[in-house]
A and B are shown apart, each in its own frame.
Chain A
């Protein structure tokens, strides 16, 4: 598949993934040809507008797509093994141990009826051979690592006895317990305040680096991604429109959509009277226009954009899908 590194040295390689939902009002091609790959130790940011398919990519990797959804095509190679064809029993082994997940709302991944200690212990019992004593020590150490003081006492607390930020710390602690190779974090800090968000992001980055794991960070917040990720993949209407090392993409976006996104963030360093805005709204994903899906909002659109859909073009470490990519330093 179109990729600049060989599949062999990638930890995760998603190739031409298509995940569709067959609903009454039509087929929702939520993910329709998404490719990217991730090396060990790397953080990859998946950004894009609401409904762009970011979460569905995350769920597809974890094999958590339920009917009416279905993975219609493509491969998800994890350590060389294709997760699309792996089957539920194998996926259940992989989830938690090799691939961990952190969601936006910590309460969805914590059981309100059981103590934090029990939930952490269960994780270790399932995925390691440690004895009870060692498991308990590990849990305490992990909670301390994520910055929860008096960890030994806190093991006996229930999730509702923690604040939102603390709960997200607990979720991260659970996710990191079995030393996964890959963490998928879907908007892990969107529900939190800026000061708490900063703490959690720092903590996640530290944990990932410490354990030599990789992370797919799903978010709509370009600023968060630019501070966290090594690489960025930008999705629009279920497709990758641009991909590359974070600094390159932020400083020198090639795709008009990426450019538009970056420009519409108010920038305290260069205040302007008006923000530059992307006109219009994301089209209905069930009735996508022919040609480039960004056409109706694009300032560079030309006749050809209505006829042919731009393919993902590779340029060194970067890739973009546009007939008229922006050149270095060019403004729109």
Chain B
């Protein structure tokens, strides 16, 4: 299996695509951060007992007044910026990935039903999708968050409400073309019920294009969540994501305490950049028309 992967065309193209390698390197680094981030710093930024107000607003080590314990400096509560970032990345990525999975489940199910049954059901689902698409997703998320209040679960619901449409449309399109194919008719002739036909025959054949959508969506969800948190309607103060860190730092940015917001900003940028680089590569590779 691995030998065939290493000699596959996919891997061959990957090896020659610098931005794909860079993208996946960035993603690999972030995977390590998410899985093992707390091991790199002594402090747990959420544990109030480990915070010391005397450590507040320390600059990064390489500047005058820097402290070796806090590589990238500290914020107003004496929390290490690096520690905050390592823990905050977990929150951001967790939210991005979970919201993507939820959107994917909801959107794919609705898309399958719409494409397979057509008619009124299809029209209803697609009109909702159209209405949804005619508002900027940020606006919808903002509206929902201000209605629900803050909280990770609420962010997830808001992101799913924004994100399912793209899956529903993609899946509906592929489903429409798959159900025309004779193998679906053959399944009918074999006596399969609709549910089984959808699960066994249609679903596996509409998933490939979703890989790209899902990858890129994690990036955009991380950004939306950051914006929500920045506006103060995202995650609660107790579990700051990268976006919330930027907001907290932003309040003191113009007092010259730039490190508290710039470093989380750089991290979020690198993360989304890596995701998009890799997503672009996947798109080119998985799109047969570009070949």
Interfacial residues, chain A to chain B (CB-CB below 8 A)? 24-25
Contact = CB atoms under 8 A, between A and B. Distances in A.
Interface residues of B, number: 2
B52 interface: no
Interface in B1-53: 9, 12
A330 to B, nearest CB: 42
A56 B12 CA distance: 27
Interface of B: 9, 12
A24 B9 CA distance: 7
A24 B13 CA distance: 10
Contacts of B9: 24-25
Contacts of A25: 9
Contacts of B12: 24
B4 to A, nearest CB: 12
3 contacts: A24-B9, A24-B12, A25-B9
Contacts of A24: 9, 12
A25 B4 CA distance: 13
A280 B9 CA distance: 29
Q: Is the interface of A mostly helix, strand, loop or mixed?
A: loop
For the complex of A and B, the 3 pairs showing the least CB-CB separation, nearest first, are A24-B9, A24-B12, A25-B9
Nearest to B13: A24
A260 to B, nearest CB: 29
Nearest to B12: A24
A82 B9 CA distance: 37
A328 B9 CA distance: 50
B16 to A, nearest CB: 11
B118 to A, nearest CB: 24
A24 B16 CA distance: 13
B10 to A, nearest CB: 10
A25 B9 CA distance: 8
Nearest to B10: A24
B5 to A, nearest CB: 14
A31 B9 CA distance: 24
B13 to A, nearest CB: 8
A24 B12 CA distance: 9
Nearest to A25: B9
A192 B12 CA distance: 42
A119 B133 CA distance: 39
B9 to A, nearest CB: 5
A248 to B, nearest CB: 42
A141 to B, nearest CB: 41
A25 B12 CA distance: 11
B8 to A, nearest CB: 9
Nearest to B9: A24
A260 B204 CA distance: 41
Nearest to A24: B9
B236 to A, nearest CB: 51
A233 B9 CA distance: 36
A24 B15 CA distance: 14
A24 B10 CA distance: 10
B285 to A, nearest CB: 12
Nearest to A23: B9
B173 to A, nearest CB: 21
A287 to B, nearest CB: 16
A18 B12 CA distance: 27
A108 to B, nearest CB: 16
Nearest to B8: A24
A286 to B, nearest CB: 14
B131 to A, nearest CB: 32
B227 to A, nearest CB: 42
A92 to B, nearest CB: 26
B24 to A, nearest CB: 21
A25 B7 CA distance: 10
A321 to B, nearest CB: 34
A31 to B, nearest CB: 22
A221 B12 CA distance: 40
A18 B185 CA distance: 43
A75 to B, nearest CB: 31
